[in-house]
Structure 1
Amino acid sequence: MSQMRVPARRRDPDGPLARLRVATAQAHHDLDSSLGVLDRPWGPDRHRRWLGLTWGLLAPLERTLSAFALREPGVLDLVSRARADLALADLRVLGADDAEIGALRECPTVPVATDRAAALGISYVLDGSTLGGGLIAGAVVSAGVPVEATTSLTGAEGAGRRWRETMAAIEAAGEAAVPGMTAAAVATFAAYRSWLSPLVVEVAS
């Protein structure tokens, strides 16, 4: 699939991206504060559970984005953004077998990429998570997790470039797309917070 093609432009401090950030700030904060990943003990067993849960989010989200891309090709380079298969590969590094992987469940409450605005809202959350993923990867490797089991945190090489492309696509979508992008992004943050909550309970116990 071709990479998204958007014109180079200076971001408007009051434009779509800025408005999306403001509108989703509370949902983003709620997710980060509820997980507190960098403030909690970690290790291979905990990381294994993390990978299984995050796969359960990535798989349906990437599937709905792929369905959108079939209707509107060229908006998003989904091949380089995909991380669900990387999560499975990370699990294999930690010793997961076919039975464990086959028992993984998908989150049933992810938003659907019904149009371009929704697809960009979902991508805003997914691509943004790869930026913080670098910090998480460093922390979990320090806790004893093999670096080979952290590929899904940052995705394929080029996370920074992909994030810049996503920001440019959001700007190019225009003001009319902001409500749809916001609704999808907030729903994605909420799905993450709800689906990963068992991990928080396990860490706290």
Structure 2
Amino acid sequence: MSAARDYGLDDDYEWPRPPEGGWTADDLDELPNLPPHTELIDGSLVFVSPQTRFHALAMLLLVYGLREHAPDELDVIHEMTIRLSKRNRPEPDVLVIRADAHADPKQTWYRPEDVVIAVEIVSEESEDRDREVKPRKYARAGIPHYWRVEESEGLPVVYVYELDPATQAYGLTGIFHDKLELTVPFPLDIDLTAIDRRR
């Protein structure tokens, strides 16, 4: 099977050739026929692998759980990009944003100052990006909370980080198995064992 077909593209798909200096955040909206969920990291396009069942279920669990607990001034959305800088536009799996950040129904990205929590669900191909690259970039952009979700025996384990404004780096505030119970940035209680439960 060809690499193009791995991303749902025709065999004769012509991969984009980067301009000198790399792509910019604006290019993501202009390049035709990019695979879904293409990200921009340091001026390079990043194509993601097909989503696993665990990834999809963990994302839904967190989206519904966060929506249930988020105060009215916040909203929850998934798979939207953040324009961190001219050459960086990653796409977290789940975002908690300020409700007034919805400026246009056709918008394709949010500003870092609109984001309260960025959540990444780690997959085999995204380990380095989700554990090292993205947290550094989110912290430098001032996003106050970062959650990393890992799979353990079919269940999510949530690593919760909070930004230290003095160092512009994240500090780990907790590792949560079975239940995600927090008071910051708002009170919430999510049963992580309910990942496969329909009701």
TM-score, scaled relative to structure 1: 0.26
More helix by share: 1
Q: Which protein has greater RCO, CA pairs closer than 8 Å, 6+ apart?
A: 1
